[in-house]
Amino acid sequence: MTHPTPLSSTPPLLHGNSYLIDGKLHPWTGPQSEVRSPLTVEGDQGPERVLLGSVPELGEKEGLAALDSAVRAYDHGRGDWPTAPAGERIAALEKFIHNMQPRRDQVVDLLMWEIGKKRADSEKEFDRTVQYLKDTIAEYKDLQREGSHINVVEGTMAQIRRGPLGVVLCLGPFNYPLNETFCVLLPAILMGNTCVFKPAKYGVLLMTPLLEAFAESFPPGVVNIVFGRGRTLASPIMKSGKVDVLALIGNSKSSNALISQHPKPNRVRQVLGLEAKNPAIVFPDADLEVAVKECVKGAWSFNGQRCTALKVVYVHRDIREAFLEAFAKATDALTWGSPLDNADITPLPELGKVDTMQSYLQEAVDKGATVVNARGGDVEGNMMFPAILHPVDRDTQLFREEQFGPLCPVLDFDSFEEVLADIAQSDYGQQVSLFTQDAATAGMCIDRLVNQVCRVNLNASCQRGPDSLPFTGRKDSAVSTLSVKAALRSFSIRTLVACPEGQKELVEQVIGGGHSAFSNMNYLL
Ligand code: G3H
């Protein structure tokens, strides 16, 4: 039997046997969870997922100990971290950035082996994250500068700053296990919150080399990292009622379940990046080359496993034949193979994912769709070659649900109203891509779409970046906004000191005497 994903280098073998609580790496001698790659080798019973190592499978006791550590460090907002001067928090994050950089090669390697992300994208994920953190520090300084002056409004003097919210439970996704997680975890920490972080089920081993970087950079209790099952760790943590913020990148079923376990759900700030079903809409006057190039990128990057992926394409009947032919041709030109060799299409990390994709595909075919591209739906090991399906019935799972994989349903339209009706009915509301060269069409669509989704892309696929742009969604797609600047706002609340103008002398004495860390006019350079 030929090997589906030839191994072009030796797999890493790493057994993580510690977790981080209270600033200390605790050795773990209890049960471990095996971590296996979506890349396979020939075993006794056929292809086997390559063993990459293991991580601790902690119990409820350790999860609650991590929570207690975060609660102690926050100490109702009176702890050393939430009250630390801005410069101290910046220094800690700078140290962390410094400490994580030497681990780049190891983390990139693990990204490829653990989740099958191709080399170029794995490197980009690491570098983009480092840049994001550096930009976060710059934004944080700006925020501090904004808060270092006093406003006088209707006879009231006020100094307004953004303060932390409390204890954050942070749960990351498997598709961007480093980037999406750190882009919520570290802004949350910088704002003075304390955190319990549990990595995703896949893309978990890559946290092991970074544990020391966390331990060396942040004071005890500020960040606590635990490994294990969500049900064992996250549920008791939520039930304790001690979580102030749920930061979760995943899906709304998980976030709703967790929020409902909190005895006072109203107290929990939600920072959520959830499911999406971003449509591309191709008008008859579209530049076909651009539309096809962007649809290939949008639908198939990382095998369609991006929340921002194009997950349904609407094509105008007048351009349908030409578009489908070109989309199929460009799709079939993609390479598949090992992420280490930078193949475009790579093995899928989730167990049973190929079966799920095949059942979506089969239902669509049973209800009248054809696989348009010659290689569409081919399977080797854990890889599935992307399939374009057309015309897809609205009464299919593939049309209704977020497939998060290498399938792209295509529907025809005559009038934009048909597309708009679907978008209005959809549970999702993240982004949309419009392909047209006509200004009147573009303008009309923009106005009809901006209140349905949160980003309308013109002649470009959907995406999160650049990271300084707001990233959010409506309906089941998100709660709160993320960006370098917005994340700092999402993890904080405005809090102020106010007094009548007559109290000027007292305020001057507080500030001039350096009596308060909050009430000061220090200008952070
Ligand atoms: O999975 C969702 C990510 O936030 C998408 O980010 O558009 O940069 O791939 P991206």
DSSP 464-516: --STTS-B--EETTEES-BSHHHHHHHTEEEEEEEEEGGGHHHHHHHHHTT--
**pLDDT value, residue 175:** 97
Task: Please determine, for residue 87, whether its predicted confidence score (pLDDT) is greater than 60.
Answer: yes
Task: Please determine, for residue 6, whether its predicted confidence score (pLDDT) is greater than 80.
Answer: no
> DSSP 3-state helix, strand, coil percentages of the chain (rounded to 5)?
40, 25, 35
Tell me the three state secondary structure of residue 388: strand
Non-local (6+) Cβ contacts of 175 within 8 A are 115, 203, 302, 305, 306, 307
19 C-alpha to ligand 1 centroid (Å): 28
pLDDT band for position 7 (50/70/90)? Answer: low
Tell me the three state secondary structure of residue 300: helix
* DSSP per-residue codes, 442-462: HHHHHHHHTTTSSEEEESS--
Instruction: For the chain, give the percent of residues with pLDDT over 70.
Output: 98
Q: What angle do CA 89, 93, 96 make, to 5 degrees?
A: 145
CA nearest ligand 1 atom 2, residue: 307
Instruction: Give the mutation target among 121, 176, 428, 469 for probing the ligand 1 site: most ligand atoms within 8 A of CB.
Output: 176
464 C-alpha to ligand 1 centroid (Å): 5
Q: Region 185-210: what's the mean pLDDT? A: 97
- Residue pair 212/103 in contact (Cβ under 8 Å)? The answer is no
Give the tens place of pLDDT for each residue, 245-286: 999 999 999 999 999 999 999 999 999 999 999 999 999 999
Q: Region 339-365: what's the mean pLDDT? A: 98
Burial of 264 from C-beta contacts in 10 A (0-12 / 13-18 / 19+): exposed
- Ligand 1: residues within 6 Å at CB? 175-176, 180, 306-308, 463-465
120 C-alpha to ligand 1 centroid (Å): 15
Task: Please determine, for residue 2, whether its predicted confidence score (pLDDT) is greater than 60.
Answer: no
The number of the ligand 1 atom at minimal distance from the alpha carbon of 175 is: 1
Q: Secondary structure of 212-273 in the HEC alphabet?
A: HHHHHHCCCCCEEECCCCHHHHHHHHHHCCCCCEEEEECCHHHHHHHHHHCCCHHHCEEEEE
**pLDDT value, residue 8:** 59
Written as six digits, the tokens of 47 are 């292809």
Q: What is the mean pLDDT of the chain?
A: 96
Tell me the three state secondary structure of residue 352: coil
161 C-alpha to ligand 1 centroid (Å): 31
Instruction: Give the mutation target among 179, 251, 278, 308 for probing the ligand 1 site: most ligand atoms within 8 A of CB.
Output: 308
CA nearest ligand 1 atom 4, residue: 464
Instruction: For the chain, give the percent of residues with pLDDT over 90.
Output: 96
Closest to 331 measured CA to CA, from 408, 433, 436: 408
290 C-alpha to ligand 1 centroid (Å): 20
Q: At what angle do helices 439-449 and 416-425 cross, to 10 degrees?
A: 20
pLDDT band for position 523 (50/70/90)? Answer: confident
The number of the ligand 1 atom at minimal distance from the alpha carbon of 306 is: 1
**pLDDT value, residue 522:** 87
517 C-alpha to ligand 1 centroid (Å): 38
Burial of 67 from C-beta contacts in 10 A (0-12 / 13-18 / 19+): buried
**pLDDT value, residue 1:** 32
Instruction: Give the mutation target among 249, 305, 307 for probing the ligand 1 site: most ligand atoms within 8 A of CB.
Output: 307
Task: Please determine, for residue 424, whether its predicted confidence score (pLDDT) is greater than 70.
Answer: yes
Task: Please determine, for residue 387, whether its predicted confidence score (pLDDT) is greater than 60.
Answer: yes
Task: Please determine, for residue 3, whether its predicted confidence score (pLDDT) is greater than 50.
Answer: no
**pLDDT value, residue 499:** 98
pLDDT band for position 441 (50/70/90)? Answer: very high
Tell me the three state secondary structure of residue 523: coil
Task: Please determine, for residue 69, whether its predicted confidence score (pLDDT) is greater than 70.
Answer: yes
Give the tens place of pLDDT for each residue, 497-507: 999 999 999 99
307 C-alpha to ligand 1 centroid (Å): 6
Written as six digits, the tokens of 37 are 């790659």
Peptide bond before residue 284 is cis, with ω within 30 degrees of 0: no
Q: How far apart are CA 313 and CA 323, in angstroms?
A: 11
Instruction: Give the mutation target among 111, 126, 180 for probing the ligand 1 site: most ligand atoms within 8 A of CB.
Output: 180
Q: How far apart are CA 193 and CA 161, in angstroms?
A: 15
Task: Please determine, for residue 5, whether its predicted confidence score (pLDDT) is greater than 80.
Answer: no
Question: Nearest 5°: phi and psi at 194?
Answer: -120, 155
Closest to 361 measured CA to CA, from 347, 343, 373: 373
Closest to 386 measured CA to CA, from 304, 320, 306, 307: 304
- Sole residue written with tokens 């696989």: 371
Instruction: Give the mutation target among 306, 455, 457 for probing the ligand 1 site: most ligand atoms within 8 A of CB.
Output: 306
The number of the ligand 1 atom at minimal distance from the alpha carbon of 463 is: 7
Q: Which domains does the chain have, with CATH numbers?
A: 59-273 (3.40.605.10), 278-468 (3.40.309.10)
CA nearest ligand 1 atom 7, residue: 463
The number of the ligand 1 atom at minimal distance from the alpha carbon of 173 is: 1
Q: How far apart are CA 123 and CA 476, in angstroms?
A: 30
Secondary element (H or E) of residue 18: strand 18-21
Report DSSP state, residue 97. H
